[in-house]
Amino acid sequence: MGASEVCGGGVQGSRRTVWAKRQVIIVPEMLCGKCSRDAIIYRKHSGEALCREHFVEDFETNVKRAVEPPIVKGERVAVAFSGGKDSSVLLYALNEVLKGVELIAVTIDEGRV
Ligand SMILES: [Zn+2]
């Protein structure tokens, strides 16, 4: 799923270190607020700790909510794609949540200035 994939982790004192593909996330020792498994992320804004499964579920729910108007199976959707991390995560997330929808990544070559 679009967020960094968790590759491993360890416990050091009262903090747990989670190694994601391209970053290290240090989270306090805490449990998921939805299932009591080890949390991999803590959201300061909501005070919510989530395990990997519930983080992915929540992320995908938010992506579905953000798509307006609702896109239905069989439609074809062009997605602006710069090739950077943000548009890459967006394209990946849309592919995960919009089953049966044809996605076309569109990149504009601005040429040389
Ligand atoms: Zn959970």
Reported confidence tier of residue 24, pLDDT bands at 50, 70, 90: low
pLDDT per residue over 41-94, tens digit each? 988 888 899 999 999 999 989 888 888 788 889 999 999 999 899 999 999 999
Whether 54 and 90 share a structural domain: no
* Number of domain units in the chain: 2
User: Which residues are within 8 A (CB) of 30 and not within 5 positions of it... i.e. 6 or more apart?
Assistant: 39, 42, 49
Global pTM value: 0.62
Could you tell me if 82 and 57 lie in one domain?
no
What one-letter code names the amino acid at 107? T
d(CA 27, CA 72): 38
Q: What is the pLDDT of residue 3?
A: 42
Q: What's the burial of 6, exposed, middle or buried (CB within 10 Å: 0-12/13-18/19+)?
A: middle
On whether both 72 and 87 belong to a single domain, the answer is yes
- Considering the chain, what percentage of its residues have pLDDT values greater than 70? 74
Residues 94-113: what's their mean pLDDT?
90
What is the CA(49)–ligand 1 centre distance, in A?
A: 8
Tell me if 3 sits within 8 A of 86, measured CB to CB. Answer: no
Q: Which of 43, 66, 89 is the last residue of a domain?
A: 66
Å from CA of 47 to ligand 1 middle:
14
The residue segments making up the domain with residue 73 are 67-113
Whether residues 40 and 80 share a domain: the answer is no
CA of 40 to the centre of ligand 1 (A): 9
Tell me what the pLDDT averaged over the chain comes to.
81
Q: Are residues 60 and 8 in the same domain?
A: yes
**What pLDDT does 2 receive?**
38
